[in-house]
């Protein structure tokens, strides 16, 4: 692992899957590929678009394979978007890589069950955060992701999201329904909490080799058993997370993959003249 004194590593979350992930994992981390097939009971890469149960462990494996292909760099700090926090902690040496995979499998199963029970969805509001917050309050839905100054994700019941979408459009902004079957980072995920806390309690955590910034608090993860569990129902504050990383003196942002979602979000956040929160 070589140290980079101006770099942040970014580990993506669900929705970042792309073609060719399986081949990259097979080449860089065949141990993870063999393990994930056994844990899931089938090859999750063949069904990555079929739900959280398959997507989360597949993306975890692909993210660590991407980090491996980069030469296992040691950054100034790292962050993960939601699920990506597991890969970030594993890369930082805060937990065993196979333990992280077991958590990804358990997390994906629990969240999928909660989503199937709740039946909610998610809506991207492409406008100001103030507009998104007002619409969310009126429609009784949750602000789930603060991704960028012009992108906020809402989560909640599908009929309430339909109302929120109409409200956004009536006010001259855009709103796009996301292709997910669940209201992630909202109270709909509460049924997953006990099982995930139990899984986290079985994992041995240690001091990371570099800080991993929480995407919920925008501060270094210090108590991962508590912080990772509570993150299931709390909003992802990615805008604040990027600004927190910037204060470390970062001028190089490297996404481990798959995809380039976080790279694009970093650019949009750094172009913003206003901080997300004081």
Query: Is the pLDDT reported for residue 4 higher than 80?
Result: no
The reported pLDDT for the residue numbered 136 is: 97
- Residues with Cβ within 8 Å of 249's Cβ and at least 6 positions away in sequence, in order, are 6, 76
Active site residue 97: no
Mean pLDDT confidence for 190-195: 98
Q: In terms of pLDDT, which residue wins out, 49 or 213?
A: 213
Mean pLDDT confidence for 238-246: 96
Set 16, 63, 81, 82: catalytic member: 82
pLDDT per residue as tens digits for the range 51-93: 999 999 999 999 999 999 999 999 999 999 999 999 999 999 9
Confidence of residue 271 (pLDDT cuts 50, 70, 90): confident
Q: Give the separation between CA 269 and CA 25, rounded to whole angstroms.
A: 30
State percent of the chain over pLDDT 90: 90
Asked if residue 258 has a cis previous peptide bond (ω within 30° of 0), the answer is yes
Does domain 7-117+185-270 fall under CATH 2.40.50.100? My reply is no
CB 61 within 8 A of CB 90: no
pLDDT per residue as tens digits for the range 93-124: 999 999 999 999 999 999 999 999 999 999 99
What are the φ and ψ backbone dihedral angles of 59, each rounded to 5 degrees? -70, -35
Domain range annotation of the chain: 7-117+185-270, 120-177
State percent of the chain over pLDDT 70: 96
Nearest CA to 115 among 192, 167, 41, 59?
A: 192
CATH of 120-177 among 1.20.1250.20, 3.30.470.20, 3.30.70.250, 3.10.20.30: 3.30.70.250
Structure tokens at 119: 């039946």
Q: In terms of pLDDT, which residue wins out, 251 or 162?
A: 162
- Residues with Cβ within 8 Å of 159's Cβ and at least 6 positions away in sequence, in order, are none
Query: Is the pLDDT reported for residue 163 higher than 70?
Result: yes
The reported pLDDT for the residue numbered 3 is: 62
Query: Is the pLDDT reported for residue 278 higher than 70?
Result: no
The reported pLDDT for the residue numbered 274 is: 42
Query: Is the pLDDT reported for residue 276 higher than 90?
Result: no
Set 81, 185, 186, 214: catalytic member: 185
Query: How many Cα atoms within 13 Å fall on the side-chain side of residue 146?
Result: 25
Nearest CA to 149 among 130, 166, 168, 165?
A: 130
Active site residue 206: no
Q: How far is CA 91 from CA 59, 85, 154, 237, 245, in A?
A: 14, 10, 30, 21, 17
Place of tokens 């969310």: 136
Query: Is the pLDDT reported for residue 1 higher than 90?
Result: no
pLDDT per residue as tens digits for the range 125-137: 999 999 999 999 9
User: What is the total residue count of the chain?
Assistant: 278
Q: How far is CA 268 from CA 149, 173, 240, 264, 265, in A?
A: 8, 18, 12, 6, 5
Q: Quick one: CA dihedral 266, 96, 203, 58, positive or negative?
A: positive
The reported pLDDT for the residue numbered 257 is: 83
The reported pLDDT for the residue numbered 181 is: 86
């Amino acid at each position: 692992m070589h140290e980079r004194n101006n770099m942040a590593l970014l580990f993506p979350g669900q929705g970042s899957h792309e073609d060719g992930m399986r081949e990259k994992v097979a080449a860089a981390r065949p141990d993870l590929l063999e393990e994930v097939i056994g844990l899931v009971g089938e090859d999750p890469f063949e069904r990555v678009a079929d739900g959280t149960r398959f997507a989360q462990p597949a993306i975890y494996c692909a993210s660590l394979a991407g980090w491996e292909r980069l030469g296992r760099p040691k950054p100034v700090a790292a962050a993960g978007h939601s699920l990506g926090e597991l890969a970030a902690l594993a890369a930082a040496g805060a937990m065993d890589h196979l333990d992280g995979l077991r958590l990804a499998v358990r997390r994906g199963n629990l969240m999928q069950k909660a989503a199937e029970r709740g039946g909610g969805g998610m809506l991207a509001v492409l406008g100001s955060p103030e507009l998104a917050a007002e619409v969310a309050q009126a429609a009784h839905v949750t602000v789930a992701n603060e991704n960028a100054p012009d992108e906020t994700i809402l989560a909640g019941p599908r009929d309430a999201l339909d109302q929120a979408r109409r409200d956004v459009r009536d006010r001259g902004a855009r709103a796009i329904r996301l292709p997910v079957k669940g209201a992630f980072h909202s109270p709909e995920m509460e049924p997953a909490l006990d099982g995930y806390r139990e899984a986290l309690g079985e994992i041995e955590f240690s001091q990371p080799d570099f800080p991993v910034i929480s995407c919920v608090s925008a501060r270094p993860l210090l108590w991962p058993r508590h912080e990772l569990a509570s993150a299931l129902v709390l909003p992802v504050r990615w805008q604040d997370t990027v600004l927190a990383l910037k204060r470390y003196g970062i001028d190089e942002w490297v996404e481990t993959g798959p995809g380039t979602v976080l790279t694009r979000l970093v650019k949009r956040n750094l172009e913003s003249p206003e901080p997300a929160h004081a």
